[in-house]
């Protein structure tokens, strides 16, 4: 389960920031996960509980913001939703597009600490 490794990296970054700001506790962590990132949110939640034990982030809330996949059609000059894959067909003109504008994100978006 690669979600454990992803969460370990995220918590390392959170704890570095907490130490840099002399925080005593991390209260909330927000991750942005794209629909095409290949990451299972439930796996991240499980890993979060394990990885944060005994750290400043123990007991913190984990919020996962889902980012939908969207591609760009140059012919229509418009974004459109994508269900899956890395090449999509524009629903308006049927042109193929590999220009994904969102959906691959895996970001540490926000940390709340005191």
CATH code of the domain in which 45 resides: 3.30.2320.50
Q: Is residue 92 part of a domain?
A: no
Q: Is residue 60 part of a domain?
A: yes
Q: Is residue 17 part of a domain?
A: yes
Q: Is residue 53 part of a domain?
A: yes
Q: Is residue 55 part of a domain?
A: yes
Q: Is residue 97 part of a domain?
A: no
Q: Give the predicted TM-score (pTM) of the model.
A: 0.87
- Do β-strands 61-67 and 26-34 pair in parallel, antiparallel, or remain unpaired? parallel
Domain that holds residue 33: 2-69+102-113
Q: Is residue 83 part of a domain?
A: no
In this prediction, residue 12 carries a pLDDT of: 98
Q: What mean pLDDT, rounded, does the chain reach?
A: 95
Helices (H) and strands (E) in the chain, counts: 2, 8
Q: Is residue 31 part of a domain?
A: yes
Q: Is 37 a residue whose pLDDT tops 80?
A: yes
Total tally of structural domains belonging to the chain: 1
Q: Is 47 a residue whose pLDDT tops 80?
A: yes
């Amino acid at each position: 389960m690669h979600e454990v490794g992803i969460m370990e990296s995220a918590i390392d970054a959170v704890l570095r920031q907490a130490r840099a700001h002399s925080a005593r506790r991390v209260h909330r962590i927000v991750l942005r996960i794209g629909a095409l990132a290949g990451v299972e949110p439930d796996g991240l939640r499980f890993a979060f509980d394990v990885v944060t034990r005994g750290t400043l982030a123990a007991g913190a809330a984990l919020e996962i913001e889902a980012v939908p996949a969207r591609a760009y059609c140059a012919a229509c000059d418009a974004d459109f939703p994508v269900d899956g894959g890395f090449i999509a067909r524009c629903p308006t003109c049927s042109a193929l597009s590999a220009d994904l504008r969102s959906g691959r994100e895996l970001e540490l978006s926000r940390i709340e600490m005191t």
